[in-house]
Amino acid sequence: MLDEFTQKRIEMDKIEISNKIRNRYSPRAYTKQTLTEEQILKLFEAARWASSAFNGQPWRFIYATREMTDSWDKLFDSLIDFNKQWVINAPLLVAGLAKTFDENKNAPIRNAGYQLGLAVGNIVIQAGEMGLHMRQMTGFNADKLRENFSIHGNIEPVVMFAVGYEGNQDGFDERTKVPTGDKRIRKPLSEIIYNGDWQKIL
């Protein structure tokens, strides 16, 4: 007998959505296969076309391939140790930064992180389309990243992500292995949406 949570999850999983969304996931295991400059530019081109408030596009990215050793080390050094252990194999490492002040309006951009997230969401979809995978990380030290790249002013390091071809996670310890297939779980819709009323749960 399945518990109620699992039962609900299975029911929800039957709702058809784009396979690109359903099948996307974030591995920690990457092969050492490098990415071409063209592939990397495509990812950022996808980010460029995200929507943003007043078309302000407050996202910025710093990237390094493993061959760009100085820049790679500066990004890598900012990660927490847990993330370092698996990122070491990934061919591309990126920091996503949000511009938090609009000089023209002389006003803060309060939702710059949200807008950066939309741009990163586009990269996720584009990466999937190109047979690539990525894993986003907030497990990094933003102050260290600022220091390593001399980032000053109203720029907020928000997220980092690794991109590459999926590798084999067999040698990983249980904490590092990620769930795949049926083992991937989500909250049921009933826990996250409210049908026109905050109190009335769908």
Can you give the binding site for ligand FMN, defined by CB under 6 A? Answer: 25-26, 28, 83, 135-139, 159, 178, 184
Beta carbon nearer to ligand FMN, 50 or 178: 178
Shortest distance in whole angstroms from residue 1 CB to ligand FMN:
27
70 or 81: whose CB is closer to ligand FMN?
Answer: 81
Cα gap 71→105, rounded to integer Å:
33
- Closer to ligand FMN at the Cβ: 25 or 44? 25
Local structure of residue 176 (DSSP, 8 states): T
| CB-nearest residue to ligand FMN | 139
- Which residues, listed in sequence order, are joined to residue 79 by a DSSP beta bridge? 140
Which amino acid would we find at residue 168? N
Min. distance of Cβ 183 from ligand FMN in angstroms?
A: 10
Q: Report, in Å, the least distance between residue 105 CB and ligand FMN.
A: 27
Contact 159, 96 (CB under 8 A): yes
Report d(CA 28, CA 176) in Å as an integer.
7
Q: How far is the CB of 12 from ligand FMN (least distance, A)?
A: 15
Give residue for tokens 């933003």: 142
- Smallest distance, Å, CB 114 to ligand FMN? 12
Looking at the Cβ atoms of 101 and 172, the one nearer to ligand FMN is: 172
- Give the residue with the Cβ less far from ligand FMN, 62 or 137: 137
Query: Could you give the CA distance from residue 78 to residue 138 in angstroms, rounded to a whole number?
Result: 11
Q: Which is nearer to ligand FMN, 110 or 175 (CB)?
A: 175
| Smallest gap from residue 176 Cβ to ligand FMN (A) | 8
Structure tokens at 138: 């907030």
* Nearest residue to 165 (alpha-carbon basis) of 41, 19, 29, 44: 29
First to last CA, the chain: 24
- CA pair distance 199, 189, nearest whole angstrom: 15
